Structures are given as structure tokens and as C-alpha cells.
């Protein structure tokens, strides 16, 4: 029998506090406030790393290299790194209802080739797929209101990677 643990890391203390409230009593769930660009090498092997919007926020900044160095340091050959990006630039540009929001949102929207270029040198890419996610107004960030303003009340899913 193997032990399965999940470690959640976030730069936002509020996000960690909410995770601890929701899952803090769950066996094998650990949450810590940290800068992902400065994570130490783990003492146990990590089978799966999930990047939920970190890369899209460090891309093109002085933190991009530090972040990719951290991923190299904490991942090993054969491990899986799943990258999730909340928005696909190509997908948003294809949607007429969002035509006016690109500049006002000022979000780091990535193109598929940017993701491939950044990750393909050090990792084997299994796939890069565009998907959709639906916005829920309650509890969402500022982008939710902006997308509803541009896309209307019934957004048929926001293109994402």
C-alpha cells in the first residue's frame, strides 16, 4: 500500500488559509505559503506537479527563468508536470464577444507556441490541448465581471489551455 499526499503551495496567504479551512483535516493534505520560484528540492519523490496559472503569470518577467529552474529542480525524469492556463490567447481572439476586452483585461494570455517553446526543451510534451471553462460570478476574480460584461450572462466557456 502506498501513501498518497497532496501538497498545495500558493503565494497568496488567503488561498492557503481557505485551502486549510476546506481540506485541512484531510489525511495527507498539506498547504504552505511559499514563492514557487524558490521552492527547495523535496525530500520525497513527486509523481505529479500541477501548475495552475503560475507560468502564465511569470512568462516574460524576470521570474520566468527562476520558475522554470524550480520546476527542473523539483521534477525528475518520468514525473508529470501538468500545466493549466486559464485562458488561451488564440481561443479568446476567435470569440467575437470578447473582441473588446483583450486590452482592458490586461491578462497574461499565452499562445500555444509560447507554452511549447518554454517547456519542450526540458520536458516531453504529451499534449497541449485547448479546453473550456465556465465562469461562475460568485467568488471569481475581477476577470469574471469583465468577461460577463463583454461576453454576456451566458458565456459558453472561456478558451483555456
Condensed to tens digits (0 to 9), the pLDDT of residues 51-103 reads 888 888 898 899 999 999 998 888 877 778 888 777 778 877 777 777 666 66
Q: Do both 5 and 78 map to the same domain?
A: no
Yes or no: say if 127 and 116 are a contact pair by the CB < 8 Å rule: no
Q: What is the DSSP string of 94-156?
A: H-GGGTTTHHHH----B-HHHHHHHHTTTS-------EEE---STT--HHHHHHHHHH-S---
Q: Do both 155 and 84 map to the same domain?
A: yes
Q: Do both 15 and 51 map to the same domain?
A: no
Q: Do both 11 and 44 map to the same domain?
A: no
How many Å apart are CA 47 and CA 20, to the nearest integer?
22
Q: Do both 60 and 125 map to the same domain?
A: yes
Which domain covers residue 123, as residue numbers? 35-160
Identify the residue with better confidence: 110 or 154. Answer: 110
Q: Do both 30 and 52 map to the same domain?
A: no
Helix (H) or strand (E) holding 48: strand 48-52
Q: Do both 103 and 50 map to the same domain?
A: yes
Q: Do both 121 and 72 map to the same domain?
A: yes
The confidence score (pLDDT) of residue 118 equals 86
Q: Do both 25 and 95 map to the same domain?
A: no
Name the average pLDDT for the chain: 77
CB burial of residue 82 (10 Å; 0-12, 13-18, 19+): exposed
Yes or no: say if 146 and 87 are a contact pair by the CB < 8 Å rule: no
Q: Do both 54 and 130 map to the same domain?
A: yes
The confidence score (pLDDT) of residue 131 equals 73
Average pLDDT in the 138-157 region?
50
Average pLDDT in the 5-26 region?
86
Q: How many domains does the chain have?
A: 2
The confidence score (pLDDT) of residue 142 equals 45
Q: Do both 52 and 129 map to the same domain?
A: yes
Vertex 80 angle, CA 74 and 86, to 5°: 95
SS3 70: helix
Q: Please tell me the least confidently modeled range out of 31-35, 76-80, 134-138.
A: 134-138
Candidates 159, 10, 6; CA nearest to 85 is: 159
Indicate whether 20 pLDDT > 70: yes
Q: Do both 29 and 86 map to the same domain?
A: no
The confidence score (pLDDT) of residue 66 equals 94
Amino acid at each position: 500500500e502506498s501513501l498518497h499526499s497532496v501538497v498545495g503551495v500558493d503565494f497568496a496567504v488567503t488561498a492557503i488559509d481557505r485551502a486549510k479551512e476546506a481540506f485541512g483535516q484531510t489525511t495527507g493534505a498539506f498547504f504552505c505559503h511559499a514563492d514557487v520560484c524558490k521552492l527547495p528540492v523535496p525530500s520525497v519523490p513527486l509523481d505529479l506537479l500541477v501548475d495552475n496559472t503560475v507560468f502564465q503569470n511569470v512568462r516574460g518577467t524576470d521570474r520566468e527563468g527562476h520558475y522554470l529552474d524550480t520546476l527542473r529542480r523539483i521534477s525528475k525524469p518520468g514525473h508529470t508536470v501538468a500545466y493549466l492556463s486559464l485562458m488561451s490567447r488564440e481561443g479568446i481572439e476567435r470569440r467575437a464577444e470578447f473582441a473588446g476586452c483583450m486590452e482592458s483585461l490586461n491578462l497574461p494570455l499565452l499562445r500555444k507556441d509560447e507554452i511549447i517553446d518554454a517547456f519542450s526543451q526540458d520536458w516531453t510534451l504529451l499534449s497541449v490541448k485547448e479546453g473550456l471553462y465556465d465562469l461562475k460570478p460568485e467568488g471569481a476574480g475581477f476577470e469574471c465581471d469583465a468577461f460577463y460584461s463583454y461576453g454576456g450572462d451566458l458565456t459558453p466557456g472561456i478558451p483555456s489551455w
